[in-house]
Structures are given as structure tokens and as C-alpha cells.
Structure 1
Amino acid sequence: MITTELIRREAIRIARLAGDRIRELRENNQYEESLKDGYELVTTADLISNDLIKTEISKIFPDHNFVSEEDNVQKEMSIQNPTWIIDPIDGTVGYANNQYQVAVSIAFAVENEVRVGVVYNPFLDEMFYAYKNFGAFLNNKLIKVKDVDNLRECVIGTGFPHKRDNIRDVIVLLENILPKVRDIRRLGSPALDICWVACGRMQGFYEGKLHPWDVAAAKLIAIEAGAKTGYYGQRIIVPDCLNGNSIIVSSPGVFDEFQKVLSK
């Protein structure tokens, strides 16, 4: 019988397998780099991780669908049927530069909602996970967002687009938000940025034009940890749990103020 608990256990197991593999590939310098679409870095480790994850899932759940960053042809963005949303390496630029803020992100969705989310950083051995209505965890310990009610006390995460055709928009947002907060961070992995909000290391995160595989797992983890989510700009037409366009994730006490500043 397929249960949420089985899905969670397998997602954690497979994320760890993939994380161990990409760590091994980097430690032994056994990967190559190239550009996808002429501007976005991709490595052979991304592709190896992607194949490993899909193969392991298909052994147990052969009828399930996939939405993955590294699939050349994306299926229709529907998660009515059982679907796994995968980012085999979130933070590829950091990965290729021997940095530690790198993650494997795996989410499971059905009936248009994400039920399980796992984000694993193999370089720090940090396993974030959640399943709907059962809380969020880091290495098996329950996590919660930090309780804050003043934006000036907050450390905020963000990211910058690979395609640099809207630099002015990015700068305007930074100009609006930086004077209103304690500091800004950029980990280079949206999934980890959001998980850091979930465990209280940051109190907010925003970014435009993220994809479903960037946010599907981490968004559930943040919500289960007590975060509030929403948007500051134009949304795209996908299920809300997959929507990463102009996304905001924050501690509830500062959400309204945070959204107001970003929406100016």
C-alpha cells in the first residue's frame, strides 16, 4: 500500500543517495560543465543525479510522473496524478565552485497539492523534510520559523536570475528592501534559502521567475514550519504549491510589511 509515510521515507533515501553521488563526483573532479540555453550552467553531475533519482523512484512507483529541471521535454504542468518534482542539483554554480550551499530537492504531489518535500544538502549533511499536516524537520528535529514582528530585525534571502535581461528590476527591488531590513543573504540555492526561513536562520525570502522544481519541496517545508507565503508581482498559471514567480516566504509577523515593500 502506498502511503505518505512510504513516500517520505523513499524521498529521503533517494535524496541522500543522489546527494552522496554528487558529492563523490565533485570530490573526485568527475564532472564536466556546459551551458544550457546559452547562459545557464549545467554539469554532468546534474544529469547523473537526475537519472539516479528517476530510476530509484521508478523502481518503486513505476506509474508515477516526473517534472524535472533536467528533462529536455517537460510534461504538462499538471500534478493531478502522482508526480515527483525534481531539482537534482539546486545551486549548480555553487556546486561547480566548491561551495557548500547546494541541495537535492525532491517533492511528491498528487491531486494538485504537494504532499511531501525533501531538500538535502550533502555537503553539510542537512536533511530538511516535511509532509503535509505533520510539521517540518531538519535531521529529524522539528523546526519552526523565527517569531519576529519588525522587518528591521530580519535577515532576508534572495537570488538573481541566470538570464540578465531584467537587471534593473532586480536592482530596484534591492533598493526598496535593503534599507528596511537588517541584512541580505544569497545562498545561490532557492530551495535552501526557503528552508533557512523555515528553520529561523533567515526571516524572509523573495525572488522572481523561479520554477516549480526550485520551490515545490521547500515551500511545503516552510509552510509546515509556520511560514507564510505569497507573491509580490505577476503570478504564472500553475498550482499554487508549484508557483515560484515573484515568490515571498517569511515569518508571519513581518509578511504584510515585507510584501508591501516589495510591491512598491
Structure 2
Amino acid sequence: MTQHEASVASVALLDLVRDISVRAAEFALEARRAGVSVAATKSTPTDIVTAVDRDTETLIRSIILESRPADGIIGEEDVAHVGTSGIDWVVDPIDGTVNFLYGIPAWAVSIAVVEGAAAGDVGGTTLAGVVVNPVTGELFEASAGGGARLAGRELAVNADVPLGSALVGTGFGYAAERRREQAAVLLELMPHIRDIRRGGSAALDLCSLACGRLDAYYERGLNAWDHAAGALIAREAGARVGGPGGGRENAELLVAAAPGLYEELAAALRAAGMDA
């Protein structure tokens, strides 16, 4: 697909992504108001899933397949649906499930559409992405080459912020050993930045970067559904988003910031023992 073709496809898909995201957000919010409890755990006892996660993803999948039956779906709560169109939907029905469980108003529905995706970390070109916070009603959206917006307002990352003045977002894994490693990196990084924020939703953290509520963001251990939509929104707002060794973001690492700050943060992370 050429760049022009990708741009045209992105605009056409964005309306559908937005509609599905809003419907899913309304469904999840109503379910949260009715009460929620842990349905199961995943990688560790602290890595939880609720019935609402599963039900919301089921709703999203059903609408996608009704609208575009040839597309594939890569979601957090169910096995991948293999499509034939070359287009895959990357779905996180509730990003920030612990926040959702505790009633903290920082969780989101995150949906991205990717052309040429692969398994695992997902490759290809992200054509469109939407992140909705159902509690606040904020809807962040972007299309490839079409910019990023919040409530119709064009977004732009904070520019010309030096590392020492940067408010940096991050998150932590569920496994005890990974948390220990992440804490050690943070201990080294803290003297070199303004402060740290841990919001609990990678999708919303990337959107916070896009709209200037954060200056930078990094995290290890993210899955594609955690960041696919948010990374597109951050990129379209002017951020550089990358991973280990300056390559593409993946489960090992995601770093995002305005280009100049990106280089400073990556260097600081390397000095702290993280391959950025």
C-alpha cells in the first residue's frame, strides 16, 4: 500500500473505529456502574481480568466482523481471528483493568487498525487509532498522516523540553522480578528528570504525551494492544516512538517523546541499564 493509499484508507477507517470505540466505552461504563469483580488472573495473581473485559471485547469483535468480515482481530482477551484482507484490528477492551476494578477514572478502550500486522508485537502500518476514557468522555483519535485530535482539537507534543524539566510517565509489570528491575532503572533516572507519573494505562499515558500532560513516556513489557492506538496518536502529535536500540517499539521497550527529548531520555535509560 502506497503512502497516499494508506492515508485514504486511514480516513475511511477512522469513522468506523470511532463508532465502535464509543459503543464499547458506553457498554463498559454501564457495566462498571453495575459492579465489577475479578473473573480470573493471567500472568501473575496481580494481573487480573474481569468479566467486563471479556464481554466488551466480545462486543467489539462482533461489530468488527459484522462490518468487515474479512479483517483479522488481535485482542487481549481472546485468541486472534485470522483475516484475509491484510487488515487487522488490535483491540484492548479495557486498558488499565486495575484502575477499572478500583474505580480510578483512568482506564480506556483502545482500538487500532493495522495494515500488514504480524503476530506478537505487531508490525505493519497503523492506519487509524482511537482511545476513549469512558469516565471522562475524552476521545483521542488519529489517522496515518492525518494528525491527532482530542474533541476536534489538533494535538502537539510539548517541544523543546530538556530532560531535567521533563515530566515522564511510566508503568510497571506484574512479575516481581520485572518490578524490581524497573524500580532500579527508575531510581537511577529520577535525579535527572522533573518528576515521574504512573497512570496505570499505557494507552492513556501515550495520549497524555500527545496532548502535553506528559513530556515523555517509557515502559517495558507492553503488548501490542496496550500501545497500538496510543502510539499512533503520539506519533501524529509529533512524538518519536521507538524501542530497543532505536528500533521499533516492542514488548522489550517503548520510549516516546518529542524528538530532541527522546534522544536525551534514551541516553538516560541506557545509563540506567535499559537498552533504549
Tell me the TM-score normalised to structure 1 length: 0.91
Structure 1 equivalent of residue 161 of structure 2: 149
Deviations along 1:186-220, one digit per CA (max 9) or x if unpaired, are: 11000111111111100000111111101111111
How far, CA to CA, are the matches of 2:68 and 2:137 in structure 1?
Answer: 26
Q: Does 1:135 align with 2:147?
A: yes
Deviations along 1:53-97, one digit per CA (max 9) or x if unpaired, are: 1111111101100110111x3468x99811000000000000000
Contact 2:70 2:85 in 1 (8 A): no
Q: How much is the aligned-residue C-alpha RMSD, in angstroms?
A: 2.1
Q: 1:161 to 1:233 in 2, by over 3 A?
A: farther
Structure 2 residue matching 1:33: 3-state secondary structure: strand
Structure 1 equivalent of residue 224 of structure 2: 212
Contact 1:214 1:244 in 2 (8 A): no
2:126 paired residue among 111, 114, 118: 114
Amino acid at match of 1:98: G
* Superposed counterparts of 1:151-166, under 5 Å: 151-166=163-178
Point out where structure 2 has 5 or more consecutive residues left out of the alignment: 1-7, 117-123, 272-276
Structure 2 equivalent of residue 14 of structure 1: 20
1:182 paired residue among 194, 205, 229: 194
Deviations along 1:21-55, one digit per CA (max 9) or x if unpaired, are: 11111111155532124421100000011001111
Q: Does 1:65 align with 2:77?
A: no
Structure 1 equivalent of residue 119 of structure 2: none
Q: Give % identity.
A: 33
Contact 1:232 1:263 in 2 (8 A): no
Structure 2 equivalent of residue 23 of structure 1: 29
* Superposed counterparts of 1:73-112, under 5 Å: 73-74=79-80, 81-111=86-116, 112=124
Amino acid at match of 2:175: K
How far, CA to CA, are the matches of 1:136 and 1:176 in structure 2?
Answer: 33
Once the two structures are TM-superposed, the CA of residue 121 in structure 1 deviates from its matched residue by 0.5
Structure 1 residue matching 2:176: 3-state secondary structure: coil
Deviations along 1:137-168, one digit per CA (max 9) or x if unpaired, are: 01111100011331111110000101222233
